[in-house]
């Protein structure tokens, strides 16, 4: 297998920069913000915690994570929580623990299908509706489950992302409820990736987790990499259902964890335990982060719309998913572009803009859609990123303004 597309584009940007090129980094999905000083201090204070610790995670972390979910209308005990070195390995271990085929939204995060492939499991890609990214069409999911059962390889799980990467949208309550009904009818485990939950742009917007409607069959994964910009610290948690299924999955998950990662890094667990109690200083930091993500993602969306792209407006995280099909003929004649792979290649090789092609997320390769990550526009260093975080008008900061201008100029050349 090739290196994950999201990591590969980051490496491509670094190579281009070493060659002296000024690349606009819109490919890698990193939160793009500095570590809060209180988190730095607590990590330093926990540096002496060098023991392995329990496989499921430190008791104080499990209790804190349970409290996090309780405050989100999800009654949870510490025994339902398992921690791991990031939500990504937890997702992989869950797919292995559940087994069988998995239904994925199309498009969906690059690693879902890749992980299924590594496990020799079949991933069934189910289309999503515009503005409903991350949640498969319920009727199409039901049809796929029926066909799979007829072939003797039934679906065992369906994975949803709320809000979504790559589209940046948040499926509405009716769509989530309909998928829960299909999952119950076909006895599917629901894996709900909610790592962007706390980055929904409008905090007043209604959020519905499948665990509220189908608690007996829903597993939630999340972590600190996106909300607190701690991707390199590698700490995730999963909430298992309080049911017989949850008990079986916990036993299998702990067996896998004991043989693969033993336990998450102890110092990071101690910091995460404090973070999941949601102290006011981190709540304020998260609110500022959410505002910045929403402001810059919206500005990038406006640049694409001005260039003739269509897209569902971003509602969470720091992604958008523009479609440049309106310029298909012009781009084919002027640049030889006929698919999303070619579109992304021309953007980085010829126009110095790094994005990811829709095909990397399971999309139709001929569709001219891109996944655009906006968070690295905040600046190349902590000083500028912190300035962007606290500034009342981050779009007026010269480095963000210049990045938006570079994008607009590149799209003008591409589509003109």
Q: Are residues 263 and 136 in the same domain?
A: yes
The pLDDT of residue 3 is 58
Q: Helices 138-150 & 173-185, crossing angle to 10 degrees?
A: 20
CA distance 259 to 239: 20
Q: Are residues 53 and 163 in the same domain?
A: yes
Both tokens of 278, joined, read: 């949601």
The pLDDT of residue 2 is 60
The pLDDT of residue 14 is 80
Q: Strands 236-239 and 218-223: what pairing?
A: antiparallel
CA distance 99 to 146: 18
Q: Are residues 76 and 133 in the same domain?
A: yes
Under-70 pLDDT residues of the chain: 1-7
Domain end, chosen from 219, 243, 278, is at 278
Q: Are residues 341 and 363 in the same domain?
A: yes
Domain end, chosen from 254, 278, 302, is at 278
The pLDDT of residue 44 is 97
Cis peptide before 100 (omega within 30 of 0): no
Q: Are residues 261 and 346 in the same domain?
A: no
Q: Are residues 217 and 142 in the same domain?
A: yes
Strands (E), 63-211: 81-84, 101-106, 123-127, 155-161, 189-193
Q: Are residues 263 and 303 in the same domain?
A: no
Q: Are residues 220 and 361 in the same domain?
A: no
At 326, which CATH number?
Answer: 3.90.1150.10
Q: Are residues 274 and 285 in the same domain?
A: no
pLDDT digits (tens, 9 = 90+) for 43-76: 999 999 999 999 999 999 999 999 999 999 999 9
Q: Hey, which residues does 164 pair with through a beta bridge?
A: none
Q: Are residues 49 and 21 in the same domain?
A: no
Placement of tokens 């101690």 in the chain? 270
Q: Are residues 110 and 192 in the same domain?
A: yes
Q: Are residues 167 and 312 in the same domain?
A: no
Domain end, chosen from 229, 260, 278, is at 278
Domain with 343 in it: 5-30+281-415
CA distance 133 to 107: 8
pLDDT digits (tens, 9 = 90+) for 153-187: 999 999 999 999 999 999 999 999 999 999 999 99
CA distance to 238, 258, 392, 398, per residue, from 93 (Å): 11, 11, 42, 44
At 170, which CATH number?
Answer: 3.40.640.10
State how many domains the chain has: 2
The pLDDT of residue 275 is 98
């Amino acid at each position: 297998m090739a290196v994950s597309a999201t990591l590969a584009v980051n490496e491509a940007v670094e190579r281009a920069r070493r060659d002296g090129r000024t690349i606009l980094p819109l490919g890698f999905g990193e939160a793009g913000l500095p570590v809060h000083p209180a988190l730095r201090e607590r990590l330093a204070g926990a540096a002496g915690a060098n023991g392995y610790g329990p496989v499921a995670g430190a008791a104080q972390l499990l209790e804190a994570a349970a409290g996090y979910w309780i405050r989100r209308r999800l009654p949870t005990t510490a025994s339902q929580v398992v921690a791991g070195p990031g939500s990504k390995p937890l997702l992989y271990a869950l797919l292995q623990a559940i087994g069988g085929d998995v239904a994925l939204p199309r498009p969906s995060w690059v690693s879902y299908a890749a992980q299924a492939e590594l496990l020799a499991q079949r991933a069934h890609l189910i289309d999503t509706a515009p503005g409903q990214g991350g949640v498969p069409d319920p009727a199409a999911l039901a049809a796929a489950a029926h066909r799979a059962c007829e072939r003797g390889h039934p679906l065992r799980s369906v994975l949803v992302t709320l809000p979504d990467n790559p589209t940046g949208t948040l499926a509405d309550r009716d769509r989530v409820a309909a998928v829960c009904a299909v999952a119950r009818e076909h006895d599917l485990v629901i894996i709900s990736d909610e790592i962007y939950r706390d980055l929904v742009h409008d905090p007043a917007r209604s959020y519905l987790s499948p665990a509220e409607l189908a608690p007996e069959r829903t597993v939630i994964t999340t972590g600190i990499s996106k909300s607190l910009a701690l991707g390199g610290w590698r700490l995730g948690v999963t909430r298992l259902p309080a049911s017989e299924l949850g008990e079986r999955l916990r036993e299998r998950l702990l067996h896998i964890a004991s043989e693969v990662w033993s336990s998450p890094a102890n110092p990071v667990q101690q910091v995460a335990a404090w973070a999941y109690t949601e102290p006011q200083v981190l709540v304020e930091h998260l609110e500022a982060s959410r505002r910045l993500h929403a402001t810059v993602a919206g500005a990038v969306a406006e640049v694409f719309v001005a260039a003739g792209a269509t897209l569902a407006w971003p509602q969470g995280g720091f992604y958008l998913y523009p479609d440049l099909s309106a310029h298909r003929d012009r781009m084919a004649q002027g640049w030889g572009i006929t698919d999303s792979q070619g579109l992304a290649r021309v953007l980085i090789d010829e126009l110095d803009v790094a994005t990811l092609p829709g095909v990397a997320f399971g999309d139709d390769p001929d569709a001219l859609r891109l996944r655009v990550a906006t968070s690295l526009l905040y600046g190349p260093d902590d000083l500028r990123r912190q300035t962007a975080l606290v500034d009342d008008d981050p779009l007026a900061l010269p480095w963000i303004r210049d990045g938006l201008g570079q994008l607009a100029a590149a799209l003008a050349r591409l589509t003109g």
